[in-house]
Structure 1
Amino acid sequence: MASLLLSTARLLEHGSALKSMANAADLRLVGMEEAEHFPAVLSDIEAAWYSLDLLNAGAPTGPSSVRFFRLIEACPKLRWLQVMSAGTDLPLYRPVIQRGVQISSGSGIASEPVAHSTVAAVMALSRGFGHWLSAQRHRTWSKIPQDRLPRDLPGQHAVVVGLGPIGLEVSRLLRTLGLRVTGVRSRAEPLPSVDHTVTYEELADVVQTADWLIVCCPLSPRTEGLIGRQVIGALPARAGVVNVSRGAVIDQLALQEALMNGRVGSAYLDVFEREPLPADSPLWSLPNVWISPHNAAASAENTRRESELFIRNLGNYLAGRPLENER
């Protein structure tokens, strides 16, 4: 009998719904603890679910993740793996991908919370919250100086790199605030959520009029280092940069230097070339930089959305239909 490997927590949480589907398809459900105590069951594992509860404090290299993928390595019949992350670039996935296992991602699960974090940062940075919060820490009644008064958001130009679920939601929200949005993707096909679409090759040209450069694209050979010195150097000095993608998409040193010398106005950074961001990084102390620890997706609703996606995809897999977010 073919089997499905999943965390014991998800097995307990969704046992009734999953068992009815599994029983109809003659599929056995196997929790991680059972698999660790009775390794022989791994020989029949055909599908597996790498769920959000296996992350330890948000780290895919934590003990639970490592345990799960050690079990996966011992599953000779594995055909399908559902992962919780939006992208499939994590090093843990590489051996599975190299084995030719079908893999589907969690793209879209956290698109709304990431977009909300992004737009909240744009609004706060543009409105002068950095000044007010600094004054509050020092118990100082300090208004924004006349020569630093914020500009209104309507009419500003946002360049959104990557038009997947996150980029499209960011673009939609920014347009409701009155910003003009240029979307950047591999093909310059028009999309209703943006005012204009260009290709990656045109990025250095289009950012010359950008008030905001917002990076939402997945990490790939095409996007690694995409935001390099040329693009950063083409930004106006007033521009803000947001990265909710992957750290390797941006040349972090070039951005850091631009922020320190005033070549870029501000930044909200959720991801970094090295994570956790080292305590001695100058980015921590720059007054024009806001940092979150790869946590922009934080939401109490992500678990529900992830589970709903997996259950839909399990139905697709068992019925031989295409999977959502198949790599």
Structure 2
Amino acid sequence: MTSSPAHIAFITSPLESEHVERMRAAAPAGVDIIFAPDLLPMTRYVGDHKGRDGFRRTGAQERRWREALGRATILWDFPTGAEDERGLALAPNVRWVQTTSSGVGQQVHSFGLAPTDLIVTTARGVHADALAEFAFLVMLGHVKDLPRLQRDQQAHRWERYCGGELSGKTVAIVGAGKVGARIAALARAFDMSVTAVVNNPSPARSAELFTTDIYGQPDLHKALASADYVVLCTPHTPQTERMIDRTAFAAMKPGAVLINIARGQVVDEAALIAALSSGRIAFAGLDVAAVEPLPPGSPLWSMPNVLISPHSASTAPSENGKIVDIFIENLGHYVAGQTEKMINVLDKARMY
């Protein structure tokens, strides 16, 4: 007679089978990993954690889905479904969730899980390279006037011009975690000056980020005043809600460029549109929006000085492999009862 597994991990969002096999190969004794692809939507692209719209389980599939959730003690991602089935309503035995995103603080709070002892580990740091590269795509496209080159090419027009350069420019990084640190490292390679806005400014943090100046949140506007490029990569919390508002835009250098790879709610979108319309902000590269998908009627779609990315700047072929690395490391610690050694643990009170 076989004994029941001590830990049951259920994969509730799409994942490539090769990564599931890596999980199973690395899992300690007593861990059962449930992966049922037919219970999950087909993916739209590599690294898709949501799947195609309109997916519906049959009655039999729904019964299997609920049965697996009911047995699970560990989840790969929060399950999605009807409003009353979100969070852990159908998974009362779960004590640890590994998410596929870094910004899950708001989600955890909306599920009412903040005061619980549930362990949530995130994908913090996994997206640093991809997001930093998107930030430099925007900066280089702006400083080299990529739209002009594209217009001239389409018109078969050979007309020389003088472009700009990033060397000597200043980038202000708001929220310098792992993503911000990667942006700072690349900025150094381009011989840019780096200003950072962090929770706890110190000489040590300044050295880590190679900053010319480092500020705390109360001095945000001072940091914005000297920046040619402002990159937002701060978590969305009550403290950062609409922190980039009309006053913040007024504090920025005229002609500055805004890049948002944080969350849309960090920016007052109406104030952004006004600043772009007036020319106060020369250009904006937006990977996120206050409402997603960005509504078809939003003026941002048709503004010539805006680049819209559909919340995809973080997605790269290596993403799931890196998150599985985190899961495998944490699984060993979790099973051994060494939860204090787990990495990327969400501070549910601070929401990041």
Superposition TM-score tier, normalisation by shorter sequence: 0.7 to 0.9
Assess, with a 3 A threshold, how the Cα gap between structure 1 residues 9 and 89 changes in structure 2: closer, same or farther. Answer: closer
Aligned mate of 1:324, from 334, 337, 343: 343
Shift of 1:325: 0.9
Answer yes or no: is 1:31 the counterpart of 2:35: yes
Assess, with a 3 A threshold, how the Cα gap between structure 1 residues 171 and 157 changes in structure 2: closer, same or farther. Answer: same
Alignment-derived partner of residue 225 in structure 1: 242
Alignment-derived partner of residue 133 in structure 2: 116
Shift of 1:265: 1.1
Shift of 1:320: 2.4
Alignment-derived partner of residue 175 in structure 1: 188
Aligned mate of 1:4, from 2, 6, 9: 9
Q: How does 1:66-81 map to 2 (within 5 A)?
A: 66=81, 70=86, 72-81=88-97
Rounded to whole Å, the distance in 1 between the matches of 2:160 and 2:284 is: 19
Alignment-derived partner of residue 161 in structure 1: 174
Rounded to whole Å, the distance in 1 between the matches of 2:198 and 2:22 is: 38
Given that 1:276 and 1:293 are in contact with CA atoms closer than 8 Å, whether structure 2 keeps it comes out as yes
Q: How does 1:125-140 map to 2 (within 5 A)?
A: 125-137=142-154, 139-140=155-156
Given that 1:132 and 1:143 are in contact with CA atoms closer than 8 Å, whether structure 2 keeps it comes out as no
Question: In structure 1, what residue type is equivalent to 2:184?
Answer: S
Alignment-derived partner of residue 289 in structure 1: 306
Question: In structure 2, what residue type is equivalent to 1:292?
Answer: S
Q: How does 1:202-217 map to 2 (within 5 A)?
A: 202-217=219-234
Q: How does 1:226-305 map to 2 (within 5 A)?
A: 226-305=243-322
Of stretches 101-110 and 84-93 in structure 1, the one that deviates more from structure 2 is 84-93
Question: In structure 1, what residue type is equivalent to 2:342?
Answer: L
Shift of 1:173: 0.3
Aligned mate of 2:71, from 41, 44, 69: 44
After superposition, what is the alpha-carbon deviation per residue over 1:231-284, rounded to whole angstroms, capped at 9, x for unaligned? 111112221110000001111111111111111111111111111111222111
Rounded to whole Å, the distance in 1 between the matches of 2:18 and 2:198 is: 39
Given that 2:13 and 2:76 are in contact with CA atoms closer than 8 Å, whether structure 1 keeps it comes out as no
Of stretches 64-73 and 236-245 in structure 1, the one that deviates more from structure 2 is 64-73
Question: In structure 2, what residue type is equivalent to 1:84?
Answer: T
Alignment-derived partner of residue 100 in structure 2: 84
Assess, with a 3 A threshold, how the Cα gap between structure 1 residues 256 and 316 changes in structure 2: closer, same or farther. Answer: same
Of stretches 266-275 and 315-324 in structure 1, the one that deviates more from structure 2 is 315-324
Aligned mate of 1:186, from 199, 208, 216: 199
Size of the aligned set, in residue pairs, is 310
More helix per residue: 1 or 2? 1
After superposition, what is the alpha-carbon deviation per residue over 1:155-202, rounded to whole angstroms, capped at 9, x for unaligned? 111110011111110111011101100011111122322322111111
Assess, with a 3 A threshold, how the Cα gap between structure 1 residues 178 and 217 changes in structure 2: closer, same or farther. Answer: same
Question: In structure 2, what residue type is equivalent to 1:153?
Answer: L
Alignment-derived partner of residue 197 in structure 1: 214
